[in-house]
Amino acid sequence: MEVSKMKNPRLRLFYFSQSLAFTYFWLAIAIPYLMYRGLSPVQAFSLMSLYQLFGVILEYPTGVIGDRFGYRRVTYLANTLNLTSMLVMSLSGSYYLYLFALFLLALGNGFSSGNDMGILKTVSFNIKKDTANYNSLMDLVLFFGSIIGGLISKISYELALIVSGICMFSANIPLYFLKATTPQIKNIQSVFSIAKDGFKSLRQPTLKQIFIIVALFGGFMFTLNSIIGSYVTLYQVNVATVGLFVGLGGLARSIGGKLYAEIQKQNIALLAILFSFSVIIIAVFPTYPVTAGLILFIQLLSGYIISKIDGDIHDLASDHIRASLFSLKRVAMRIVASSYLMVNGIAIGVGKFSLLMYGTGLLLLIGVILAWGYLTNKQIRNKQLASS
């Protein structure tokens, strides 16, 4: 029997812990909730943009801290900060109160990002397949969490936020009982040395092209739930429907990730091209049915693409910068997402949503051209030939 197919109780315990940590109702109700609190669309999107900016600033240092002091320790802190952010967010207050709550959330997510992949590496026997299954499971959790969050928010937005925070904090319980199959190697390098090595790793041509795709495609995906949340304004869709739609997007990504776990196709250029043209078609036909259907298709493609990227990063990453490199991946996504969210809020406010989608689609196609070697698997094949 293959090791990858053996029962791995430690892997299952990790999945359970992260399922609780990803009970993230906020994704489904962020924009509707902020507007419920009296903020304008521009203010709501500016908050989400600043949240991404906080992530840009905090993401990499928190990943480096995980590589230096231990993945589990910082993950405990992440889950605690996420609970605190949801409790603060549930309060009635001003723009600046919600800005503070989003700062706490960005800090918590920063400590979680990258370090979850570090923990996964310590309990996995087949890292590429287990990473794809992990991504698929988390998107499935998002599917159910978004639906449940949307339904709870019909009773009370505040209740949805509090329940979400409690679930995220509860992730610490199974994490406490999780024992590593391959313990994390003690890292004696300084934080600054680890941070420097993480940046130096981006000199690799393959990683450079991976990060182009991560920034453009991942950055767009990072903003997608906020775009869906804006359907309340664009198409007069109710919050429960938005929650359902966010959940279906998670299900689509979950299916995409599961497909990669079972069928690891290396040439993904066609998928990236289909992704890009789907965004352009949304611009041409900006109606609710077309937009909704294509966004689900885009999320299916993204589940496959991101799972491949994460597996390739695991293959290319040195153990002493593993969490740092995955944090850098999120930084690249957040930089694009922060800019995109700010522009998106303005575009919706002035009725130029279609123009924004045109520009996004063309930018994605430019990314495909720049990363053609990676997307067609040529660089990875060349790397394998050079090392043989």
* Whether pLDDT at 188 is above 70: no
Residue 381: which pLDDT band, with cuts at 50, 70 and 90? low
List the single range of 172-176, 238-242, 295-299 with lowest mean pLDDT.
238-242
The whole-number pLDDT of residue 280 equals 92
The whole-number pLDDT of residue 231 equals 62
Q: In whole angstroms, how far apart are CA 131 and each of 26, 90, 121, 310?
A: 24, 33, 9, 7
Tens-digit pLDDT profile for residues 22-43: 887 877 788 888 988 988 888 8
More confident: 317 or 298: 298
Query: CATH 3.40.190.10: does it fit domain 8-181+195-387?
Result: no
The whole-number pLDDT of residue 182 equals 67
196, with CB counted inside 10 A (0-12, 13-18, 19+), is middle
More confident: 185 or 65: 65
Average pLDDT over residues 329-355: 78
Tens-digit pLDDT profile for residues 312-321: 888 887 777 7
- Per cent of the chain over pLDDT 70 is 87
Residue closest to 101 by CA, chosen among 80, 112, 86, 79: 86
Q: In angstroms, rounded to a whole number, what is the distance separating the alpha carbons of residues 5 and 38?
A: 52
Please provide the average confidence, as pLDDT, over all residues in the chain: 83
Tens-digit pLDDT profile for residues 153-162: 888 999 999 9
- Per cent of the chain over pLDDT 90 is 30
The whole-number pLDDT of residue 386 equals 44
Q: Across 137-146, 184-193, 344-353, which has the greatest mean pLDDT?
A: 137-146
Residue closest to 117 by CA, chosen among 107, 132, 103: 132
Average pLDDT over residues 248-257: 87
The whole-number pLDDT of residue 41 equals 80
Axis crossing angle, helix 205-213 with helix 288-316, rounded to the nearest 10: 160
Average pLDDT over residues 63-92: 91
More confident: 88 or 191: 88
Q: In whole angstroms, how far apart are CA 15 and each of 6, 120, 342?
A: 16, 9, 34
Question: Taken in order 273, 279, 283, 284, is the CA torsion positive or negative?
Answer: positive
The whole-number pLDDT of residue 388 equals 40
The whole-number pLDDT of residue 384 equals 46
The whole-number pLDDT of residue 368 equals 95
**Which residues contact residue 230 at a Cβ distance below 8 angstroms, ignoring those fewer than 6 apart?**
31, 41, 45, 344, 348
Tens-digit pLDDT profile for residues 85-112: 999 999 998 999 999 999 999 999 888 8
The whole-number pLDDT of residue 66 equals 81
Angle, CA of 328, 51 and 85, to the nearest 5°: 105
Burial code of 7-29, b = ≥16 C-beta within 10 A, e = fewer? Answer: ebebbebbbbbbbbbbbbbbbbb
